[in-house]
Structures are given as C-alpha cells and as structure tokens.
Amino acid sequence: MRRAVPVVVLACAVAGGVSGCRVGGDDTRAAAQVTKPAASVCTGAIRWGRVSEERTLVAVSRVVTVGKDSGEVRLSPLRVRELVPRVETSGPGPSAERVLASLDKRLGDAFEVARPGRSSATVERPDVADFLGSSGRFVSAWGVRAVEATFTADCGTATPVYGSVSTWYGNSGASLRCGRDPAEHGNKERWVTEAYTLACGDGS
C-alpha cells in the first residue's frame, strides 16, 4: 500500500533534504462495529478507575539500503508484538461490548477501540516509500494506541464486579534513517526510539 499523507506529524530533524524520521498516523476509528451483543444480566453503571493510553510499536521492517536513484521501495512489516483486545471481570458482569462502548465514551466520541477478535495485526500493511534523491539505510515502523483500563460495574448485588480492559485503536507509521537517532533530534516517543534501536542499534 502506498503511504498515505500522515495525519499526525511529529518534529523530525532534516539533513540533506531527507528527514531523519517521518512519523504519522490516525488515532481514530480503529474497529468496525460488531454485531449486536446478547442482552446482559448486568445493566448497572460502569465506573472507570485508571485509564492509560500509549502509542505502542507493533511491527518493524528490515533495513533497506537505497541510492539516490532507487525511487519507490516496498517495506514489509515484521511483527514485534500483537495486541489482542480482552475484558476480564471478577464475576458475571456486563457484556464485553457494553464495557467497550462505555470505554469509547470515556475516551471521547472520536475514538472507537478495537473489539475482541480484532488484533493489532490488521494495521500491518506493506509500506511503499519514494526515496528518489535520497540515499542511506532506512526502516519503517508501525504502531497503534494501546489502552489499559480498570472499572467497577454495579450489577444489583451487594458485591461489586471489578474488571479490566486491554485494547487498542488507531494506527501510526514512521520512516527512520539509520545513523540518525530520532531521540537525539527531538523525537523521544518510546515506540519510535524502540523501533530505531531494534533495527539500527548496535549489538551488545
């Protein structure tokens, strides 16, 4: 797939007309709506505890060496980790769909987190980059927004139902140039520096 115009662009240093890194992504609408779930026996309020988000690396390409006349080069993702949505509870509680719909509202109307069965592997699509006029060793990286959260559900009993959610949404992409550490040029996002270290770092 030809690289789309980035939606999110982070500060990157530029040298010789080539950016040391290009980072972009879309953190909205990660998952399509699932079919209507079965009715849940627990319809009480869901209260959220800790909710954390972090852009997380899921795949990196091999390093490719290009010359000024290389033009378009295809970089394929190699998986680093896979995020699989899950909802865990201390006992019978609200349906996973209801919990995740509540989490959508907690995060804001623009966001729709991935439902069970939708792995982060869905964002691992080949990247086609145009390197015409550039030279060096380059690598592409793929990321998503990981979400971890805890909650309490009121299910009409004396004992509350506690639970946790692990899921993800959105997608991000980065093109990095080996020999130009992004952390030294204004981009210290952990998923970007992790990708650079994995692909371009010195071995021990």
Candidate from 37-41, 49-53, 141-145, 172-176 with smallest mean pLDDT = 37-41
What's the farthest any 2 CA atoms get from each other in the chain?
71
Length of the chain: 204
Domain boundaries of the chain, sorted by first residue: 14-28+40-200
Report the pLDDT averaged over residues 144-160.
92
The mean of the pLDDT values for the chain is 80
Angstrom distance (rounded) from CA 71 to CA 167 = 37
Q: Which residue's structure tokens are 């980072």?
A: 23
Strand partners, 175: 22, 140
Entry pTM? 0.75
State pLDDT tens for residues 10-43.
333 333 334 444 455 555 444 433 334 344 568 8
Residue whose C-alpha is closest to residue 169's, from 9, 28, 34 = 28
State pLDDT tens for residues 61-94.
999 998 877 778 888 999 999 999 999 999 898 9
Higher pLDDT, 199 or 10: 199
Q: Per the structure block, which two tokens stand in for 195?
A: 């990708």
Q: How confident is the model at residue 109 (pLDDT cuts 50, 70, 90)?
A: low
Residue whose C-alpha is closest to residue 3's, from 171, 128, 172 = 128
Q: How far is CA 148 from the centre of its chain?
A: 13
Q: Per the structure block, which two tokens stand in for 139?
A: 């690598």
Query: Residue 37's pLDDT is what?
Result: 39
Q: Read out DSSP for the chain?
A: -BPPPPSS-----EETTEESEEEEEE-S--SPPPPPPPPPS--S-EEEEEEEEEEEEEEEPPPEEE-TT--EEEE--EES-----EEEESSS-S-HHHHHHHHHHHH-TT--PPPTT--GGGG---EEEE-TT--EEEEEEEEEEEEEEEEEE--SSSSPEEEEEEEEEEEEEEEEETTS-GGGGT---HHHHHHHHHHHSPP-
Strand partners, 139: 176
Candidate from 14-18, 35-39, 173-177, 188-192 with smallest mean pLDDT = 14-18
Residue 77: what residue type? P
Report the pLDDT averaged over residues 95-111.
89
Higher pLDDT, 128 or 34: 128
Query: Residue 101's pLDDT is what?
Result: 93
